[in-house]
Structures are given as structure tokens and as C-alpha cells.
Amino acid sequence: MFIDWEKMPRTRSPRAKDSRRIASGQNMSFVRIEIEPTAEFTGETHWHMHEQWVVVLAGDVRMTVADEEVQLTTGDVLYIPIDAPHAPLAVGPAGATYLEIFAPPRMDLLPESIVPAV
């Protein structure tokens, strides 16, 4: 099944200047995130019961995972284990576009979801 990201509804976002769209199956979900260069980050970490992969499609993003800072650029892939504290810290001068891949799927991120964040 082909996914046209432009036709997918936007999801809730923790910050302004951040566009998110989600595609979810039974065992995993994909979230496409586009962040403008002027977006502001709190650096506040969070964690969840999902394995998470981050695949940078364009631009640069700096993240922290379990107290380690990493700088990611186009083509880079980052693995975030279950329950590992993590947070995006900043994007580069051109912003960033990346995919977050979750297993199990993040049903709490679906538009109009009543599932609590976990």
C-alpha cells in the first residue's frame, strides 16, 4: 500500500514549527517529522515502551539518548531502545526532515486518538 505523506492528516506536536504525519500498521508506525530551522527545543527528555528508529531524510538534527548527545545528518540512522530517555535538542540551519519508526505502533499519536501516551 502506497502512503502519500501529503495526504496524511497532521498529528499532535509538542512544539510550534513542527509538522508531523503518521502512518500506522498492526506492528509498527512511521512518523514523518519536518522541523523548521527556527523551531525552539526545551531539551526535556521523555521515554516510552516503544523501540524507536530515527532516519534523517534531509538536514541535521542533534539529539540526546541516555545522556549521550549525537549529531545526525542526511542518511544517518539512530536506534533508541525501549524506555531510554531521549530528546531532540536542535536542528541545523536548513531545519530537518526525519522518520521516526516505532514498534509497537504509537497509537497515541494518531489524530483524534483517545489512547494515552505511554
Q: Is 1 inside a domain boundary? A: no
Q: Is 88 inside a domain boundary? A: yes
Q: Is 4 inside a domain boundary? A: no
Q: Is 113 inside a domain boundary? A: no
Q: What is the mean pLDDT of residues 95-111?
A: 90
- CB neighbourhood size of 89 (10 A): 15
pLDDT for 113: 67
* Number of alpha carbons in the 13 Å side-chain half-sphere of residue 53: 12
SS3 53: strand
DSSP string, 73-96: ETT-EEEE-TT--EEEEEEEEEEE
CATH number for the domain that contains residue 22: 2.60.120.10
Q: Is 30 inside a domain boundary? A: yes
User: pLDDT for 27-53, tens place per residue?
Assistant: 999 999 999 999 989 889 999 999 999
pLDDT for 28: 94
Structural domain of 71: 9-107
Q: Is 66 inside a domain boundary? A: yes
The dihedral sign for the CA sequence 88, 94, 100, 106: positive
**In the predicted structure, residue 104 carries a pLDDT above the cut 70:** yes
Q: What is the pTM of this model?
A: 0.89
- In which element (H, E) is residue 115 found? none
Number of domains in the chain: 1
Quick one: 39 exposed, middle or buried, by C-beta within 10 A (0-12, 13-18, 19+)?
middle
Q: Decide which of 16 and 34 is more confident.
A: 34
